[in-house]
Amino acid sequence: MAAMRSVKLSGVCSQAVRQMTGMNACRLLQQRSFRVHGVRRQQTFDPTDKPQFPGASAEFIDRLEFIQPNVISGIPIYRVMDRQGQIINPSEDPQLSKETVRNFYQKMTLLNTMDRILYESQRQGRISFYMTNYGEEGTHIGSAAALEPSDLVFGQYREAGVLLYRGFPLDSFMAQCYANADDLGKGRQMPVHYGSKDLHFVTISSPLATQIPQAAGSAYALKRENLNRAVICYFGEGAASEGDAHAGFNFSATLECPLIFFCRNNGYAISTPTNEQYRGDGIAARGPGYGMMSIRVDGNDVFAVYNATKEARRRAVAENQPFLIEAMTYRIGHHSTSDDSSAYRSVDEVNYWDKQDHPISRLRHYMTERGWWGEDDERSWRKESRKMVMEAFEKAEKRHKPRPDLLFTDVYKEMTPNLTKQRDSMWKHVKQYKEHYPLEAYEK
Amino acid sequence: MAASARFLFRGANSKLYISSVKSGSYNQLRVTLLTSCNSHVKSQRRHAAHFTFQPDPVTTQYGPTQKMNLFQSVTSALDNTLAADPTAVIFGEDVAFGGVFRCTVGLRDKYGKDRVFNTPLCEQGIVGFGIGAAVAGATAIAEIQFADYIYPAFDQIVNEAAKYRYRSGDLFDCGRLTIRAPWGCVGHGSLYHSQSPEAFFAHCPGIKVVVPRSPVQAKGLLLSCIADENPCIFFEPKILYRAAVEQVPVEHYTVPLSQAEILQEGSDVTLVAWGTQIHVMREVAQMAQEKLGVSCELIDLQTILPWDTETICKSVVKTGRLLISHEAPITGGFAAEISSTVQEECFLNLEAPIARVCGYDTPFPHIFEPFYIPDKWKCFEAIKKMINF
C-alpha cells in the first residue's frame, strides 16, 4: 500500500503535463496514464507540486481537515434603515424621490387592504381559496421597483405585490380569484395563480420550484436576443429544497444566464420551520457553492431589497451571470386559507413581527420623519384604497363565470378531433340534464 | 443517474459504429462483434436481430435525397432547423461533441456553442430549462439521453409543459419545445436502456408523443414536432439509429402529426404498431400471407398522442380483426387505449377479440430479452388464433 500511495508522475512527465493545458481533460488523462512508467518513490510532501485534477482548482494540503459550515455566524443581513425608519449608513441611501417612496408605501398598503378583503371573502365562502402576503410586502415592492418593466418575472404564489407594482388592475386580481368571465386565465386555475403577458409576469402554477429551471431557460433565451432584459425568479425557502432549485441554480451558473434568484425566507413552509428544512446557513450560503454571487438582505427593509435587486439586475445583464438574493422576513399570516398557523407557532411570535418589525410600518416611519406622510394622508389613503378594492370586489362577484366551452380550449393550440367530440358530448349531456348543472352562473 | 450506465453503453456503441453504417444489417453487425471477441465465443453469442429493416420506396417529391441512417436523418432535421430558425437551440447531456448516438455531430461547429451546448447532468433541469426557453420565444430542442431517464423530468413534462397554455388562458405557452429521446429495445440494454415509456405520457393531455419507424419518417416527423405549436416528445428507436438506412430528402419537409400511415393494404386483419415493431409486423404480414393465406393491413400509428382514431377504425371496419403490438408492457400500455376505442367504435364489425401482443408485465430484462420481446412468432401465433376464432 505504501508503494501505491507514493506513486507519482516523474518530474519530467508532470512538467510535460503542465505544458499541455490547452488539451481537453479526457486526452490529458490518457496521456498521463500512458506515461506513468517513470514511477519513483517519494517520502515527503512537495509544496511545489500542483494538483492537476480537471474538477477543481485548488492546492494540496498535507493535514486531514474537514470544512466546517458556518451556521452560528452566518452571511450578514444587509440593511439600509433600522426599525424606526432611520437610514443607518447615508452612503447606502438610494435617495428615492418623495413620489417614488409614497408610491412604494401606497402599493404595499393597497396589497395589504386587498389581502384583508379577499381573506375575509374566503372565510365567508365567497371565493374558494386565498393566500395573503402579510409581512412580505416589502420584498415584492422593493424588488419590483428595481427591475425594468420588460424584465420577465417567474413567481411562486406569494408575490402579488410585484404584479400590483407593475400596474395589474384590481379588477384583474379579483377576476382571477373569482374565476369569472374577465379572468385572463379563463377561470381554470385556483385563486392567486395570477399571470399577465403584458406585464411580463409568467402565470403562477402550484407545483413548487418548477419555475426555477424555467427561469434559467428564459434568461438564456433573452441573453441570446441581446435586448438587455433580465429574468427574476421568486421562491420560498421551502421550495428551495426541491430538486428543481438545484437544477435551476446549477444551469444558470454553467450556462451564464442573466437571472436574479429571489428567495423569500419567511421561516416556514406551511408548518415546517427552517430547522427542519435545512441545516446550512439558509439559502444564501448555497449560492457560492454553485459559483453564484449571493447576498442576504433584510426583507422588511424595502430600501435594502431595492438596492440589492438594483445592483444584481445591473450586473446580471452586464456580465451574464446569475445572482442570488435571500430576503429574510417573517410570514405573518397563515400559510393559506386552508391553514391555521396557531397549530404550530405561538401568537407572541407572530405579534412580534406584526407590531415590532413590519415592512409597512418601517417605511411609514421613514416617510413621517421627512414629513412626506401624515395622519391625514394615512386616513384618506386607507379610505380610498378600501373603496377601490371594494368596488373591484363587488364588480367581480356580480360577473358571470366563463363559458363552459373554455374547459376544452387551449389544451393544445388547436382543438383536436378527440376534444371536439368530448365537448359536443358534454353539451348534449348537459342539455339533457340541465337542471343538475349550474348553467345560470356561466356565460352563454 | 444516467452517468454510470451511459458510460457502459457508449463503449458498446463505439463498436457498433465501425460496422453498421456500411452493412445496415443487424445480423451482420452481430457477426462483426463476435469475431472481434476471441474468447468465450459461444457464451457471448447474442440472439439474432428480431427484425429486418426494409427501406420505403425512394420518394423524390421533396427534392434531392441522400443515403442516411436514422441518426443521420435526425442530424439533417436539426441542421435544417438551426439554419432556418435563428432562435433554435439544442441542448442536453453530451450533445456538444455530437451526442452519444452521434445525432448532433458537426452542429456545434456549424452553428456555434451558444446554440448547441451541453447542460449539467440533470433531466428535470433540461426539460425545465427547455420550457423556459420556449416561453421566452426560442425554439428549444432538448435531448434526454435515454427515454429510460426521462422520469426525473416527468413533473416538468406533465405538470408544466403539458399544462402551460391551458392554465394561463393562452397567455403563455411552451409550444416551441421538442424533447428528443432514444427509445425502445436494443438487444442488450436491460432495464434502463430499453424502455418504451410512451403510455405514461399518453395519459397526459397537452403534449404530443411521436415515434418514427425509419430515417425518412424520423426527419419529417421531427421537423413537424419542432414546427408544431405544442410541446412534443419525439422518441427515436435507437436500434434503428445505424441499422436503418434509406434515401432521405436533404431539404426541409414534414410528415403530418396525428396521422397514421397505411403501409400495406389488406382485407383480413389490421395490424397496428409503431417504431421498430413496424418492421416486425411487416414480416408477420408476409408470413401470414405465405403460411396462412391471410391478407394483412399494416398501419404505422406514428403519433401516439393525439392519435389517429379514424384511420385505425376505418381499417378495422373493413377487416373485422385487429392486432396491436408494442414492446412496452401490456398492462396500461397504449394498445389498451386503441383496443377499447376500436371496440367502442367498431363493435358490429369485429369478428374476433382484439389481440394485444406486447412486452410482459416485468421490467425489461438483460439476458432474457429474446423471450421478452413481442417478436414475429408471437404476433404470427396471435393472427392464427384470431383467424380461427
Are B149 and B158 contacting, i.e. CB atoms less than 8 angstroms apart?
no
Tell me what ipTM this predicted complex has. 0.90
Q: Which residues of A touch B129 (CB under 8 A)?
A: 213-214, 216-217, 220, 247, 251, 255
**Distances in Å between the alpha carbon of B24 and those of B19, B53, B80, B189?**
8, 8, 25, 20
Specify the pLDDT at position A318: 98
B193, B252, B279, B326: the catalytic one is B193
Distance (Å, rounded) from C-alpha A14 to C-alpha A8?
9
A287 at interface of B, judged by CB pairs closer than 8 A:
no
Answer yes or no: A193 catalytic: no
Taking only residues 250 to 269 of chain A, the set having a beta carbon closer than 8 angstroms to any beta carbon of chain B reads: 250-251, 254-255
For the segment A178-205, the average pLDDT, to the nearest whole number, is 98
Q: Is A188–B309 a contact, with Cβ atoms under 8 angstroms apart?
A: no
CB contact under 8 A, B124 and A188: no
Verify whether residue A335 is a known catalytic residue.
Answer: yes
Q: Looking at CA atoms only, how far is residue B16 from chain A in angstroms? A: 22
Distance from CA of A296 to the nearest CA of B (A): 25
Is B206 in Cβ contact with A224 (below 8 Å)? no
Chain A contact set for B337 (CB, 8 A): none
- What stretches of B21-78 adopt beta strand conformation (E)? 65-69
pLDDT of residue A14: 39
Nearest chain A CA: its distance from B135 CA (Å)? 7
Nearest residue in chain A measured CA to CA from B152: A243
For residue B128, which residues of chain A lie inside 8 Å, CB to CB? 210, 212-214, 216-217, 244, 247-248
Is residue B47 very low, low, confident or very high in pLDDT (cuts 50, 70, 90)?
Answer: low
Residue of B nearest to A410 (CA): B166
> What residues in B contact A213, CB-CB < 8 Å?
124-125, 127-129, 131-132, 156
The cell 403530418 sits on which residue?
A: B256
**B49 interfacial to chain A (CB closer than 8 Å):** no
- Beta carbons of B166 and A212 less than 8 Å apart: no
Considering only CB atoms, B128 lies closest to which of A183, A248, A418, namely: A248
Q: Which of residues 320-379 of B touch A (CB under 8 A)?
A: none
The CA distance from A431 to A423, in Å, is 12
Tell me which chain B residue has its CA closest to the CA of residue A188. B167
Please say whether the beta carbons of B239 and B184 come within 8 A. yes
Q: How many CB atoms lie within 10 A of CB B96?
A: 18
- How many C-alpha atoms does B5 have within 13 Å on its Cβ side? 14
Task: Select from A203, A212, A222 the Cβ nearest to the Cβ of B171.
Answer: A203
Annotated catalytic residue A336: yes
Neighbours of A148 (CB within 10 A): 11
Predicted confidence band of residue A87 (pLDDT cuts 50, 70, 90) = very high
Q: Which residues on neighbouring strands pair with residue A262, listed in sequence order?
A: A234, A325
Mutation target for B interface from A156, A208, A211, A220: give the one with most B CBs within 10 A: A220
Per-residue pLDDT, A166: 98
Amino acid identity, position A8:
K
Q: Is A436 on the interface with B (CB under 8 A)?
A: no
Cβ atoms of residues A183 and A401 within 8 Å: no
Nearest CB to A195: which of B171, B230, B309? Answer: B171
Q: Residue with C-alpha cell 411552451? A: B174
Confidence check: pLDDT of A46 > 60: yes
Question: For residue A48, what pLDDT band results from cuts at 50, 70 and 90?
Answer: confident
Q: Which residues of B touch A414 (CB under 8 A)?
A: 229
Stretch A169-175: mean pLDDT: 98
Give the Cα separation of B327 and A79 in Å (integer).
61
In contact, B374 and B329? CB cutoff 8 Å: no
Is B312 at the interface with chain A, CB within 8 A?
Answer: no
**Size of chain A, expressed as the number of residues it contains:** 444
For B232, other C-beta atoms within 10 Å of its C-beta total 27
Q: Is the pLDDT of residue B18 over 60?
A: no
- CA angle centred on A283, ends A282 and A284, rounded to 5°: 100
pLDDT for A58: 95
Which residue of A214, A254, A415 is the best one to mutate when testing the B interface, meaning the one whose CB has the most B CBs within 10 A? Answer: A214
Instruction: Specify the pLDDT at position A385.
Output: 98
Per-residue pLDDT tens for B275-292? 999 999 999 999 999 999
pLDDT band at A72 (very low <50, low <70, confident <90, very high): confident
Is-contact A151 A200, C-beta < 8 A? yes
First to last CA, chain A: 83
DSSP annotation of B331 reads T
- Residue B69: beta bridge partners? B245
Report residue A353 as a C-alpha cell: 413581527
* Listed residue (B38, B20, B42) closest to B29, CA to CA: B20
Residues 220-239 (A) with a CB less than 8 A from some CB of B: 220-222, 224-225
Task: Using an 8 Å CB-CB cutoff, list chain A residues near B133.
Answer: 217-218, 220-221
Q: What is the mean pLDDT of residues B349-370?
A: 98
> How does strand A152-154 pair with strand A231-236?
parallel
pLDDT at A216: 98
Cβ–Cβ < 8 Å for B94, B118: yes
Work out the pLDDT band at B16, boundaries 50, 70, 90. very low
Written as nine digits, the cell of B370 is 429474446
Contact A165, A387 (CB under 8 A): no
A138 — phi, psi (to 5°)?
Answer: -65, -35
B160 touches chain A (CB under 8 A): yes
Q: What is the pLDDT of residue A403?
A: 97
- Sequential DSSP letters for B341-366: HHHHHSTTT--SPPEEEEE-SSPPPS
Contact A416, B207 (CB under 8 A): no
Give the mean model confidence (pLDDT) for residues A225-240: 97
The one-character DSSP state at A276 is G
Select from B136, B152, B208 the Cβ nearest to the Cβ of A218.
Answer: B136
pLDDT-based confidence at residue A19 (cuts at 50, 70, 90): very low
Residue B283's pLDDT is 98
Q: pLDDT tens digits, residue range A324-352?
A: 999 999 999 999 999 999 999 999 999 99
Average pLDDT over residues B146-167: 98
**A286 vs A30, higher pLDDT:** A286
Q: What is the pLDDT of residue B28?
A: 40
| Rounded mean pLDDT, A123-149 | 97
* Contacts with B, A 395-424, CB within 8 Å: 409-414, 416-418
High-pLDDT (> 70) share of chain B, %: 88
Q: Write down the pLDDT at residue A148.
A: 98
Cis ω before B182 (30° cut-off from 0): no
Q: How, if at all, do strands B261-264 and B296-300 pair? A: antiparallel
Q: How confident is the model at residue B49 (pLDDT cuts 50, 70, 90)?
A: confident
Q: Mind listing the pLDDT tens digit for each residue in A200-213?
A: 999 999 999 999 99
pLDDT in tens, A258-308: 999 999 999 999 999 999 999 999 999 999 999 999 999 999 999 999 999
Of the given ranges (A8-22, A157-171, B314-328), which has the lowest mean pLDDT? A8-22
Least-confidence region, from A216-230, A357-371, B13-27 = B13-27
Q: Which helix H or strand E contains A268, and what residues bound it?
A: strand A268-269
Across the range A428-443, mean pLDDT stands at 97
Cβ neighbours around B10 below 10 Å, total = 13
Asked if B169 lies within 8 A of A255 by C-beta distance, the reply is: no
Q: How many CB atoms lie within 10 A of CB A314?
A: 13
State residue A71's pLDDT score: 84
A26-32, long-range: CB < 8 A, 24+ apart: A28/A52, A28/A54, A29/A54
Q: Is A309 on the interface with B (CB under 8 A)?
A: no
Mark B18-47 as b/e (b = at least 16 C-beta within 10 Å).
ebbbeebbbeebbebbeeeeeeeeeeeeee
Q: Is A366 on the interface with B (CB under 8 A)?
A: no
- With CA atoms as reference, report the closest residue to B199 among B150, B271, B165: B150
Question: pLDDT band for position B43 (50/70/90)?
Answer: low
Beta strands B245-249 and B261-264 are: unpaired
Q: Compute chain B's Rg from CA coordinates.
A: 20
Give the span between the Cα atoms of A178 and A401, in whole angstroms. 8
Contacts of A251 (CB under 8 A, 6+ apart): A213, A216, A217, A257, B119, B120, B122, B125, B129
Cβ proximity of A114 and A168 under 8 Å: no
Residue range B137-146: mean pLDDT, rounded: 98
pLDDT, mean of residues A16-37? 44
Handedness of CA B264, B266, B272, B278 (dihedral sign): negative
Provide, rounded to the nearest whole percent, the portion of chain A with pLDDT above 70.
90
**Which residue among B132, B137, B306 sits closest to A213, beta carbon to beta carbon?**
B132
B45 pLDDT tier (thresholds 50, 70, 90):
low
The answer to whether A249 faces chain B, any CB pair under 8 Å, is no
Q: How far apart are CA A60 and CA A51, in angstroms?
A: 6
Q: What is the mean pLDDT of residues A227-237?
A: 97
CA distance B27 to B8: 22
Torsion sign over Cα A336, A342, A344, A348: positive
Picking from A199, A185, A193, A184, the residue whose alpha carbon sits closest to that of residue A158 is A193
pLDDT of B60: 85
Q: Which residue of A has its CA nearest to B88?
A: A221
Least Cα distance to B70 among B195, B211, B191 occurs for B211
Closest partner residue to B230 (CB to CB) among A183, A212, A413 is A413
CA distances from B305 to A236, A418, B204, B311 (A): 36, 10, 9, 14
Share of chain A above pLDDT 90, in %: 88
Whose cell is 451574464? That residue is A320
d(CA A269, CA A267): 7
State pLDDT tens for residues A379-419.
999 999 999 999 999 999 999 999 999 999 999 999 999 99
Q: Between the CA of residue A126 and those of A122, A130, A172, A388, A402, what are the distances in Å?
A: 5, 11, 17, 19, 17
